[in-house]
Structure 1
């Protein structure tokens, strides 16, 4: 339980951080006002919007760093956070009077959280195998360009200077990354989804227990009575 005496201090720290962030970007509202005065289809509009994004890149990078150490590459987190920043810049309306930082932070964090949701490991995998998965991904991409085809496990092992069995282990672990949804289709728009190939639920399953319980009772009845019951 949080100590009530600490709550004001925590609130004050949070408020202080928000105030500092807002003051660091105090010039951004004016940049948005100048943007709003431009023709949205003009080159000047695009350049002005790009300047706002560049001005606020430190905010996106700061948020990305808060998610480090969770198994995803730092560069990927920064890229995703910057995508969130661009979305925030596009959607922000300066006329609402709301602070841009207060609007942008949840937008950027939402983008990063969505990235984790869509690119998470479906089962618990040792950190060593996660790192190997990243190395194998880079090596596979490079060898594919060099060979003109997907590399074999032996070729990956030679490229990375490791045992083939270790490469196979890493490839198997990689199958736990970003598990395929059962609603995902195969190749082609008209291809059936995985869920389409699954059997339908048997509506009689719930009656199995009842039938098994009645079986010895029916067997104990005289043949005539048993026949009458079965014909009903």
Structure 2
């Protein structure tokens, strides 16, 4: 008698997805019951649906973290979007609340970035492009199994790569970095150390001339890393994908290169 192969073990991811599906089904049932109930009873159903939908709202808010906006603010905005979705949902034969709620919550988050989060407001074209980048970046990363490059984003959105770079350079407009902030690529340096002032032109020229022979003597890969990071404004992830190393390794290499250059300036 042929034995059947054992079923694969359920993973934590499977269990989390099952829990999300169960929660979505319960919310759907509550909202369908509420649609047929009186005003007071409907409000009770909707309040319970909001409670069950909070994990979904928090998950969507988490995808917009590390972009210059406080995490608690993002969660509050996502919850507002959830409440709007619950209040505005109209159950039908072929409707699904989750499919309605996700774009509603995302829309509230993107609106918050567009209208409230800018400390230095760039042109509307740049704002809209950043919104488009935020919308496709995570999906591209999941599909490509790596962080998308500038060219990947440009192709997905349908704009030239130069416009993607412009939008990425303006990311700090949400929350400008302090001049005392340490550089990731060179923790011994602050942002103030690498920004030239109006009165130090001669010193800047002297530094460039001092570093030129030092850079020329660097290994070819180190020179490429320098060019990609400080001339082409590529991210560490993009550089790592090009030279075949991890983002962490690129950060370590940049730190070592910057130490060599700084030693040449202080010698």
* Fold match (TM-score > 0.5): no
**TM-score, scaled to structure 2:** 0.38
Structure with bigger gyration radius: 1
Q: Which TM-score applies when normalising by structure 1?
A: 0.44
